[in-house]
Amino acid sequence: MRNRFRLRILVSAVVLALAGSVAIGAVAGVGANAATPTAPHTLYISVANRYLTLPHRITAGQYYAQVRTGDPQSFVQVVRAPAGYTPRQFLAAATLWNTRYNSGADPRAAYAAFVKCVTWVGGASVTRGAVGSFATGFNAGTYFLYEDSYNHPTHLSRISVLTVVGTPPAQIHPTAAGVVRFGTGPMGLTMPATLPRAGWLLGIGSYLNNLQISKLAPGVSQADLDADNICFTRGMAPPTKNCFVQGGASLTGKVSKGASVFWYYRLTPGNYIAGDTAPNACYDRPFSNFNLFTRFTVS
């Protein structure tokens, strides 16, 4: 059986009303123009038994999304569908990849087709009683939203269709405390070496990406992180040191190349590492297995 990797959320992202600390500009499909900018809209999303409740039709523009759940934990994903593409086709692409992997067949072509069939534009993770948050722009077109505990949709009835109409107005959007740029090189991603305790991170995708932040225990060195089986499991041997403590964040909501999303975070002071936990074709763990992380400090 496949190891469906998902690090647990260690802290929930809360607080959306940040209109007092925003700047004007273009983001995630929303272009600013000469008109007086207006405040972003709010999109409310609720989850129960992995089914989503949200509006089925909205006007184009920049949105703050608030996600709540009645389940112990939920992962909401938003994708933009090309014209004429249906939820049934999207589910079929996900099922083909999943089936090929589980059967032992080469899953790479099916994975590439699944990743490229839509544009991944972010989302949020949330636990019961908390609020997950992200900000993104919606242009006219069709979007699919679904609960993403398995890194792909599993039921046609659990894919919600959102129709967006109109032309995006000029709007204010969050000022990013830092920009996260995903890549495929040795670092995996780049971001500021220091961050404030709370704010928005602008994630810019490179293929299919997701951000995991883990807080380091006191005394963890770079050598501990780089060595095999000290902080991370590589192969069959378990890690020999408890390198992490409560206080990180899983800023769930995958983003693809050509797209971007604002994730809201709240972290306590200390040292952290951040990495990409989006699945690859073989469901490996790029964050923990291949040193694809960067270290930063919150002060």
pLDDT confidence band for 203 (50 / 70 / 90): very high
**H-type helices in the chain, by residue range?**
87-103, 108-116, 222-226, 286-289
pLDDT confidence band for 14 (50 / 70 / 90): very low
Q: What single-letter DSSP state applies at residue 35? A: S
Q: To which CATH superfamily is domain 1-299 assigned?
A: Cupredoxins -  blue copper proteins (2.60.40.420)
CB 164 within 8 A of CB 58: yes
pLDDT of residue 243: 94
Whether residue 9 is predicted with pLDDT greater than 60 in this model: the reply is: no
Q: Which two tokens stand for residue 19?
A: 């209109």
6, 88, 220, 241 from 245: Cα distances, Å: 17, 41, 11, 12
* Max avg pLDDT among 36-40, 123-127, 188-192: 123-127
52, 100, 147 from 202: Cα distances, Å: 25, 34, 22
Whether residue 295 is predicted with pLDDT greater than 80 in this model: the reply is: yes
Q: What single-letter DSSP state applies at residue 72? A: S
d(CA 290, CA 144): 31
Percent above pLDDT 90 for the chain: 67
- Which tens digits make up the pLDDT trace of 51-101? 999 999 999 999 999 999 999 999 999 999 999 999 999 999 999 999 998
Domains of the chain: which residue ranges?
A: 1-299
pLDDT of residue 288: 63
pLDDT of residue 201: 95
CB 273 within 8 A of CB 287: no
Whether residue 37 is predicted with pLDDT greater than 90 in this model: the reply is: no
